[in-house]
A = this chain, B = another copy of it.
Amino acid sequence: MTDNLSSRCLPVGFRFAAGYAGLRKTPSDDLALMVSDFPASAAGVFTRNMVRAAPVELSAGSLRKSGGIARAILANAGNANCATHNMHAVSAATVQAIAGLAGIPEHHALVASTGVIGEPFDESVIPRVLPRLWEKLDRSQFEACAEAIKTTDTVPKVRYRLETTDRSDAFRLAGMAKGAGMIMPDMATMLSFVFTDAAIEPGLLQEMLKTAVDTSFNCITVDSDTSTNDTVLLLANGASGVCFDERSVGTFYNSLAALTRELALDIVRDGEGAEKVAEIRVQGTATDGDAKTIAMAVANSPLVKTALAGADPNWGRILGAAGKSGVRFDPAAMVVLVNGIKVCKDGLRAEFDEPAVQEQMEGEEVRIDIQTGGGGPGRAVVWTCDLTERYIRINADYRT
Query: Hey, what's the 0/1 contact readout for A43-56 against B, CB within 8 Å counting as 1?
Result: 00000111110000
Query: Hey, what's the 0/1 contact readout for A366-397 against B, CB within 8 Å counting as 1?
Result: 00000000000000000000011101110111
Known: A83-B349, A317-B187, A320-B187. A307 touches B395 (CB 8 A): yes
A321 to B49: give the CA distance in the assembly, Å: 9
**Does residue A13 face the partner (Cβ distance < 8 Å to B)?**
no
Residue of B84, B314, B400 touching A186 (CB-CB under 8 A): B314
A158 to B311: give the CA distance in the assembly, Å: 36
User: Does A306 lie within 8 Å of B392, measured CB to CB?
Assistant: yes
A56-109 at interface with B (beta carbon < 8 Å): 80, 82-85
A278 to B333: give the CA distance in the assembly, Å: 40
A314 to B319: give the CA distance in the assembly, Å: 34
Interface residue count on the A side (C-beta < 8 Å): 66
Known: A83-B319, A301-B225, A320-B187. A312 touches B399 (CB 8 A): yes
User: Does A319 lie within 8 Å of B228, measured CB to CB?
Assistant: yes
User: Does B331 lie within 8 Å of A51, measured CB to CB?
Assistant: yes
- Tell me the minimal C-beta distance from A342 to chain B in angstroms: 13
**Does residue A141 face the partner (Cβ distance < 8 Å to B)?**
no
- Tell me the minimal C-beta distance from A372 to chain B in angstroms: 10
Closest to A396 in B: B310
A228 to B223: give the CA distance in the assembly, Å: 23
**Does residue A215 face the partner (Cβ distance < 8 Å to B)?**
no
User: Does A51 lie within 8 Å of B319, measured CB to CB?
Assistant: yes
A265-281 at interface with B (beta carbon < 8 Å): none
**Does residue A233 face the partner (Cβ distance < 8 Å to B)?**
no
User: Does A320 lie within 8 Å of B392, measured CB to CB?
Assistant: no
Closest to A349 in B: B118
**Does residue A302 face the partner (Cβ distance < 8 Å to B)?**
yes
A289 to B328: give the CA distance in the assembly, Å: 22
A80 to B227: give the CA distance in the assembly, Å: 37
**Additional A-B contact list (18), CB under 8 Å, known A49-B320, A84-B348, A118-B316:** A48-B324, A50-B322, A51-B323, A82-B316, A83-B344, A83-B349, A186-B314, A186-B317, A187-B319, A223-B302, A224-B302, A225-B320, A225-B321, A225-B324, A228-B323, A310-B396, A310-B399, A312-B399
Residues of chain A having any CB pair with chain B under 8 Å: 48-52, 80, 82-85, 116-118, 183, 185-187, 223-228, 300-303, 306-307, 309-312, 314-317, 319-325, 327-329, 331, 334, 344, 347-349, 358, 387-389, 391-393, 395-400
